[in-house]
Amino acid sequence: MLINISIEGLLYFGAISLSLIGLFGLLVSNNVFRMLLALVMFEAGANLILVLSGFRENGIAPIFLADYSGAIMNDPVPQALVLTAIVIGVGIQALALALILRVKKHYKSLDMRVIRSKLEHEIATQANVEPPGSHHAPKQIVRAGEHQ
Partner 1 sequence: MNHLILLVVLPLLSAFIIPVVAKHSLTISRLIGPVVLVFILALVVLSWNSVGSNGFAIFLGGFLPPVGIVFYIDHFSLMLSGLIAGMLLIVWPWNSYVAPRQYSLYMLLTAASFGLVLSADLFNLYVFYELLAVATYGLIARQKNPAAAVAALRYLFVSATGSAMLLLGIAIIYTLTGTLNIAHLATMTDQLHGLAGLSAFALIVIGAGVKAEMFLLNTWVPEVYSTIETPLAALLAGLISKLATVLIIRVLLMLFQQSEVLQMLLVVGVFGVISGEMVAWRAKDMLRMLSFSSIAQLGMIFIAFSIAGEVGLWIGLAMMLHHLLVKGGLFLLADKMQGSFDNLRGYAKRSAMAVAIFIIFILSLLGIPPFPGFWIKLMLILNLAEQNNTLYHYAIGFILLATVIEAAYLFKLVRYLFQDEEAATIVSTPKSLTFWYAQIFALVLLVSLAFISPISNRLKDMASQVANPDIYINTILPSHLSGGNP
Partner 2 sequence: MNLLDQFFVIVAVALISIAMLRNIKVNSIVSTLWYVLMVVMLARMSSVAYNADTITSAFSIELLGFRMYWKFTALSWFFSIITVVSALASSLFMSGDWGKQYRQQGGNYGLLQLALILNVVSMLILLASGDLLSLFIGWEFVSWASFLMMVLMPSKTAKKAAVKYVIYAIVGAMALLAALAMVYASSGSLDFTQITDAFIQMTDNMKFGFVLLFFIGFAIKMGLLPFHLWQAVAYAETPGPGAAFLGAISSRMGLFTILVVIVQFIGLGNLEEMNIALPYLNMKSLLAWIAALTTIIPTYIALQQHDAKRLLAWHGVGQGGYMLLGIMMYDSIGSAGGLMHVLNHASYQAALFLTVVAVVYRTGTSDLNKLGGLVTQMPLTFLVMLIGIIGLAGLPPMNGFVSKWMVYRSLLVNGEPLLFVAAVLGTLGTILSVYKLIHNTFLGQLRVEHQQVREVPWSMMVPMLGLSVIVFITGFMPGLILPWIASIQETIGLPVVTYHLGGIEYAKGGLDMIWVSGILFYGFGVGALIFYFLGGKAKRIHQYDNYAGGHFLSSEVKYHYSNNFYPGLMHLIGNWYRGSFKWMENVIVSALSFVSKLFENMYRSRQPVMLLVLVAVVALFSIYKNYSGAGS
Partner 3 sequence: MTKFASLLFIAGLAFFLMVVTGLLPLGNSPMLIGNAILDSAKEQVGAANVVTSVVLAYRGLDTLGELSILFAAASAVGLLLTKSSFNKPSKNPTNTEESDSGFVAINGIDLIFPLLLVVGMYIISHGHLTPGGGFQGGVVLAIAFAMRSIVRPRGKSIDHGVVTFIEAFAGLSFIVIGLVALYTQGHFLQPMLDQGHFGSLWSAGTIPLLYLAVGLKVGAELAGLILALNTDEVNI
Residue 115 CB-density burial (10 A; 0-12 exposed, 13-18 middle, 19+ buried):
buried
**Size of site (CB under 8 A) for partner 1:** 49
Q: What is the DSSP string of 84-144?
A: HHHHHHHHHHHHHHHHHHHHHHHHS--BHHHHHHHHHHHHHHHHTSPPTT--SPPSSPPPT
Q: Which CB atom, from 56 or from 60, has the smaller least distance to partner 1?
A: 56
| Distance in angstroms (rounded) separating the CA atoms of residues 85 and 81 | 6
- Minimum CB distance to partner 3, residue 121 (Å): 17
Q: Which does 18 bind (CB under 5 to 8 A by kind): partner 2, partner 1, partner 3, none?
A: none
Is residue 16 near partner 3 by the rule CB under 8 A? yes
Which positions touch partner 3 (CB under 8 A)? 1-2, 6, 8-9, 12-13, 16-17, 20, 23-24, 27-28, 33, 49, 52-57, 61-66, 73, 75-81, 83-84, 86-88, 90-92, 94-95, 97-102, 104-106, 110
